[in-house]
């Protein structure tokens, strides 16, 4: 009886090793995922001795905030404009400053920029819709070639006080959003 089990074990081992060798020489096809990436942009500034610059504006790090060209300090969460582009201060470290490329606190003008990256494998015309509090305010198209990206900059006048949500939705179903507060001066 022991010889019978030894023969079964040898036969099973032979079949297993043969199958493994055949599979290792066969071509393995990796399925390529096709998708679109949608995201809001951010900016990282390096700082040296509490100094940095953004589009020609001098930024000085002071305490838990920054001053731009000797302005009043902006604290984390505050929004500001430099040369027509809006930013929100997110984080300050010993060597860098992280800015969101959108305004979270505004007194009438909302700025944001976002990126659409096309990994669909072919050129594509995207339709995007911009909503504030689930009310569509903009619908536009953007053509993006395969394996390329397009940065889209938007500025919207919005004067309704309170807390709001800005959402961008692509015709692919992808969507991103950020919350902002609008305060009348």
- What are the chain's domains? 30-185 (2.60.40.10)
pTM, two decimal places: 0.78
The strand pair at 85-92 and 79-82 is best described as: antiparallel
131: CB partners within 8 A, 6+ apart: 137, 165, 166, 167, 168, 169
Please give the structure tokens belonging to residue 64: 């838990």
Report mean pLDDT in 10-residue bins for the chain, 185 residues. 64 62 58 86 94 94 90 92 94 94 91 96 96 97 96 94 96 95 68
Q: What value does the CA radius of gyration of the chain take, rounded to a whole number of Å?
A: 27
Please give the structure tokens belonging to residue 57: 């504006």
Q: What is the model's pLDDT at position 42?
A: 96
What is the C-alpha separation between 161 and 129, in angstroms, rounded?
22
Three-state SS string over the chain comes to CHHHHHHHHHHHHHHHHHHHHHHHHCCCCCCCCCEEEEEECEEEEECECCEEEECCEEEEEECCEEEECCCCCEECCCEEEECCEEEEEEEECCCEEEEECECCEECCEEEEEEEEEEECCCCEEEEEEEEECCEEEEEEEEEECCCCEEEEEEEEECCCCEEEEEEEEECCCCEEEEEEEECCC
Q: What is the model's pLDDT at position 5?
A: 66
């Amino acid at each position: 009886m022991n010889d019978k089990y030894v023969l079964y074990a040898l036969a099973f081992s032979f079949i297993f090793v043969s199958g493994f060798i055949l599979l290792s020489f066969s071509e393995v096809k990796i399925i390529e995922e096709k998708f679109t990436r949608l995201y809001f942009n951010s900016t990282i500034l390096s700082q040296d001795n509490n100094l940095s610059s953004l589009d020609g504006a001098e930024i000085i790090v002071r305490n838990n905030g920054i001053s731009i060209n000797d302005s009043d300090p902006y604290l984390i969460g505050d929004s500001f404009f430099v040369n027509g582009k809006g930013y929100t201060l997110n984080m300050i470290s010993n060597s860098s400053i992280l800015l969101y490329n959108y305004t979270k606190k505004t007194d009438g003008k909302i700025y944001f920029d976002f990126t659409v990256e096309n990994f669909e494998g072919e050129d594509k015309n995207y339709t995007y819709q911009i909503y504030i509090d689930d009310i569509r305010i903009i619908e536009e198209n953007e053509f993006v070639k395969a394996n390329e990206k397009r940065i889209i900059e938007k500025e919207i006048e919005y004067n309704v006080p309170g807390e709001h949500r800005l959402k961008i939705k692509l015709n692919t179903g992808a969507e991103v959003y950020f919350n902002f507060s609008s305060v009348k001066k």
